């Protein structure tokens, strides 16, 4: 295992923040290339499971370059409001640029903040999403408690992320794909160690059932985890 990749996912928030700032320029292109464009379908699934409706006020945490945020904004429409939150300045800069180029215009507030200390009132949002962020937060239970705090009673959060699949065959395929496709592609852009962090981050991440338990322990009234792509990814839907 690449030692720099392992240290990049040591749980230190500053290291994670720096990592996502570094990969910001290629983040969208990599997602598109490495998922064969399917990442847009998975992100739309998260928006659907958030139960966001036209006119709602919604939150997208760990918004990165804004893919899920813009999908969520289209869902709530011009009468709604969406906040995209991330602590990586470079990612937010790209998200702002993207939102200025879409037509019709979308109502999005981009906020630089830590998911462990959100700058919003209690029970403020009608729904929330998080794409590929929970695996990287420094304190998963604390982040879930903070997410629950800002959701209105009865509203839902849909959290999309990579996982280690339960099937040993799928685990082998996932590891082959990461080591043979993902990292070499990143190395061509001089970002091999930055993307090598994915594998150790998966080793440390909660299983789907453990995510459900953590959400319930954090105060959510209901939680369900839906595995997708052979269990290599999944969506945790937690209802306050």
Chain segment 139-185, per-residue pLDDT in tens: 999 999 999 999 999 999 999 999 999 999 999 999 999 999 888 88
Residue in 111, 105, 98 with CA at minimum distance from that of residue 77 = 105
Strands 151-162 and 233-239: antiparallel
| Greatest Cα-to-Cα distance within the chain, rounded to the nearest angstrom | 49
More confident residue, 178 or 197: 178
Hey, how many other C-beta atoms are within 10 angstroms of the C-beta on 153?
A: 9
Per-residue pLDDT tens over the stretch 33-81: 767 677 889 999 999 999 999 999 999 999 998 999 999 999 999 999 9
Residue ranges per structural domain of the chain: 3-239
- For residues 205 and 174, is the Cβ–Cβ distance under 8 A? no
CA distance 179 to 141: 30
* pLDDT at position 26: 67
CA distance 216 to 72: 25
Strands 151-162 and 81-86: unpaired
Half-sphere exposure of 12 (CA within 13 A, CB side): 9
Q: Write the burial class of residue 131 (CB in 10 Å: 0-12 exposed, 13-18 middle, 19+ buried).
A: buried
Cis check for the bond before 104: say yes or no (omega within 30 of 0): yes
More confident residue, 175 or 1: 175
Region 229-233 average pLDDT: 92
Which percentage of the chain shows pLDDT scores above 90? 65
Q: Rounded to the nearest 5°, which phi and psi values hold at 124? A: -95, -30
> Which top CATH class is 3-239?
alpha beta
- For residues 16 and 8, is the Cβ–Cβ distance under 8 A? yes
């Amino acid at each position: 295992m690449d030692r720099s990749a392992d240290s990049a996912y040591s749980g230190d928030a500053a290291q994670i923040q720096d990592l996502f700032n570094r990969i910001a320029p290629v983040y969208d292109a990599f997602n598109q290339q490495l998922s064969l464009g399917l990442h847009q379908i998975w992100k739309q699934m998260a928006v659907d499971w958030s139960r966001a409706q036209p006119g709602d006020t919604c939150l997208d945490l760990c918004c990165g370059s804004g893919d899920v945020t813009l999908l969520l904004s289209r869902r709530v429409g011009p009468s709604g409001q969406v906040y995209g939150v991330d602590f990586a300045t470079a990612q937010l800069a790209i998200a702002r640029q993207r939102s200025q180029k879409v037509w019709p215009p979308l109502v999005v507030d981009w906020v630089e903040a830590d998911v462990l200390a959100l700058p919003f009132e209690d029970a403020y949002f009608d729904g929330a999403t998080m794409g590929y962020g929970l695996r990287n937060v420094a304190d998963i239970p604390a982040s879930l408690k903070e997410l629950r705090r800002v959701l209105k009673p009865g509203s839902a959060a849909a959290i999309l992320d990579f996982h280690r699949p339960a099937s040993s065959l799928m685990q082998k395929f996932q590891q082959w794909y990461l080591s043979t496709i993902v990292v070499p592609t990143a190395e061509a852009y001089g970002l091999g160690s930055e993307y090598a962090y994915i594998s150790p981050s998966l080793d440390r991440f909660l299983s789907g059932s453990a995510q459900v338990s953590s959400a319930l322990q954090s105060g959510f009234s209901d939680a369900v985890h839906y595995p997708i792509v052979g269990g290599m990814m999944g969506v945790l839907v937690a209802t306050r």
